[in-house]
Chains A and B, each alone.
Chain A
Amino acid sequence: MRRLKRLFVFFMWMVCPATVLAGEGGKEPLHHVADVSKATNFFTRWLAETYNNNRLLHSIACVIIMGIMGIILAYITDWIMAVLGYKAEKMEHRE
């Protein structure tokens, strides 16, 4: 059993870096270029331009904007539910 454990630990240490590295390499042939001319509003145009010019910035912006949206909506929904008199903490499941 002890041998098996050692073997497993060794295997894990060997496999995990290999698993991470497995994601590396390989070019992505399907590149999309955003058509800025068709963008109808400032936000969409900004997104499309950022995407075309700086993919990293676009990706970070996507994550940050969605995070902020999530936080804002969390507070808004909490507030609305409190106004309506619903407290999720006090609800009982009847099923």
Chain B
Amino acid sequence: MDFFHLYLPIAGIEFNWLVLLAIGFCVGVMGGFFGMGGGWIVTPALNIFGFPMPFAIGTDLLHIYAKSIVAVKKHAKLGNVDIPLGVLVAIGMMIGVEIGARIVMFLAAKGLAGPVIRYVYMILLALLGLYILYDYYRATRKVPAAASSSKKSPSKPGLAAKIQHINIPPMIYLKASGVRVSLWTLLIIGILIGIMAGFMGVGGGFALVPAFIYLVGVPTAVAVGSSLLCCIISGAYGGFTYSMKGRIELVAAIILLLGACIGAQIGASAVKYVRGYGIRFLYGIMLLLAAISVLLKQLKMAHIAGIVVLSSALAISGIITLYLVKGIISEKG
């Protein structure tokens, strides 16, 4: 075993820690820049590079939990965290995560966890990539901004108003968000997103934020901060339950976290300097390439799959880092 290879005793595999650091870094940069969690990339990337699927999910959940602590500290400082909202949804999420983890273990017992979850990832990554490309196309089309914005600019989302009118006791008033909502609404949101988080090893922020905004009526900034609080609690529970099931590699999670923390600072700082939607186009392409690499892994072409996913992620992270360096130089010069 050389210097770059690390023995992971529970999974019983040797893994290059530089690859772990690179995955963490790329995910951190993209997460910091696009505001999207990296679970989408980490789980399939770990799997492509040799982690068994349940290990990839468990390790990813554990690293998401610690990463969310780093992020929530900043949001808490800004007063963007609605603690009752976060805790109540997280309770639902813990139930959901447990269900998701049980489904994964059931599939693992049948020897189906890898293929089934890979297929789910393939579809979701492709859909997400296509959506981002569509969003890019829509944004760059020459449509008068006023015309398009006039259609979708309600002061309060209609669905949120309807859901807030569901008076199923107990009703809860969320002070920081200024909304009154049924406990059941929060629990159901938590359970549904939790199942997805536990099944796929994602934080669920990408679903929590729109759910908070459009279903509960929470202001956007509070929705982001509170979703991160949910990710902490559900990630910790996910890490715990996957560890109890023997599907966690702590050292790998720590290395991922280190890479992600460095990357997240670069990504968040680069937001100041990058203009336009061009980078979003690249991100959409990257997600499509990630979907293709999952397909390649499924077709037992793990080597090519690894090259595709890592090179595309490194390329987009490199471009973002380059923009940041250029921005700093031009600012100082």
Contacts and interface: CB of A to CB of B under 8 A. Distances in A.
Interface of A: 5, 8-9, 12, 16, 19-20, 22-23, 26, 28-32, 34-36, 38-40, 43-44, 47-48, 51, 55-56, 58-63, 65-67, 69-71, 73-78, 80-81, 86, 88-89, 91-95
Nearest to A39: B9
A81 B265 contact: yes
18 contacts: A9-B168, A22-B99, A28-B105, A28-B245, A32-B246, A34-B9, A34-B10, A47-B10, A56-B244, A62-B243, A69-B66, A69-B257, A71-B73, A74-B73, A74-B74, A80-B265, A88-B74, A94-B271
B9 A67 contact: no
Interface in B239-264: 239-241, 243-246, 248, 250-251, 253-254, 257-258, 261, 264
B149 to A, nearest CB: 16
A47 B8 CA distance: 10
Interface string B270-289: 01111111000000000000
Report the 8 A-B pairs with minimum CB-CB distance, sorted nearest first.
Answer: A70-B69, A70-B66, A59-B243, A48-B9, A34-B9, A74-B73, A74-B70, A66-B66
Nearest to B187: A16
B65 interface: yes
Interface in B90-115: 95, 98-99, 102, 105-106, 108-109
B109 A30 contact: yes
A91 B272 contact: yes
Interface of B: 1, 6-7, 9-12, 62-63, 65-70, 73-74, 77-78, 95, 98-99, 102, 105-106, 108-109, 167-169, 184, 187, 191, 236, 239-241, 243-246, 248, 250-251, 253-254, 257-258, 261, 264-265, 268-269, 271-277
Nearest to A75: B73
A66 B253 contact: yes
Given A63-B239, A66-B66, A26 B9 contact: no
Contacts of B251: 43-44, 47
Contacts of A61: 250
A77 B70 contact: yes
A23 B251 CA distance: 28
Contacts of A40: 1, 6-7
Contact of A67 (B69, B105, B245, B246): B69
Given A20-B95, A91-B272, A62 B62 contact: yes
Nearest to A93: B271
Nearest to B268: A88
A13 B96 CA distance: 16
B243 A63 contact: yes
A73 B189 CA distance: 30
A63 B240 contact: yes
Contacts of B9: 34-36, 38-39, 44, 47-48, 51
B261 A73 contact: yes
Given A12-B184, A23-B99, A63-B240, 10 more contacts: A9-B169, A28-B109, A38-B7, A40-B7, A44-B251, A59-B239, A59-B241, A66-B62, A95-B271, A95-B277
A73 B70 contact: yes
Nearest to B101: A23
Contacts of A67: 65-66, 69, 236
B243 A70 contact: no
